Amino acid sequence: MARLLAETRNCRVGMTLSGSSPPDKATKSFGARPSSRVGAFFDMDKTLIAENSGSIYMKKRYQDGEMGLLGLARGAFAYLRYRMGVFDMLKSTHAMTRDLKGRQESEFLA
């Protein structure tokens, strides 16, 4: 799952309906590779996979030593807030990306 997050920076930015990706300012700013079609998603409501994908992601990070018990507890609390209908996805996404700041893409590639 961490690899999927790392690869989101490779998604197409500024893609047109024809499938072409002009080298516009946004594409250059984000360093997107026009030929890449990799992205990430989280299926939190179990419509595509049987388990909440956010939970799977947290378990994997814990098992791989990428987070400790505190991080796991924060993830469990976030899931509880989601189940209660008070989860702020944008705020959570910003917090997760802060945790990844300064890490090299090669750390996520298998």
Q: 12-68: per-residue pLDDT in tens?
A: 333 333 444 445 544 454 555 555 666 666 676 777 777 777 888 888 889 999 889
Tokens standing for residue 60: 């994997």
Write out the two tokens for 19: 């499938």
CA distances to 3, 21, 36 from 39, in Å: 10, 16, 9
Whether the model pTM is above 0.75: no
Please report where in the chains the tokens 């924060």 appear, as a residue.
74
Residue 105, token pair as written in the block? 């893409």
CA separation (Å) from 2 to 6, 15, 20, 63, 71?
6, 25, 28, 12, 15
Q: So what's the pLDDT on residue 35? A: 58
Cβ partners under 8 Å of residue 100, min gap 6: 5, 6
Q: Which tens digits make up the pLDDT trace of 72-95?
A: 898 889 889 988 999 898 988 888
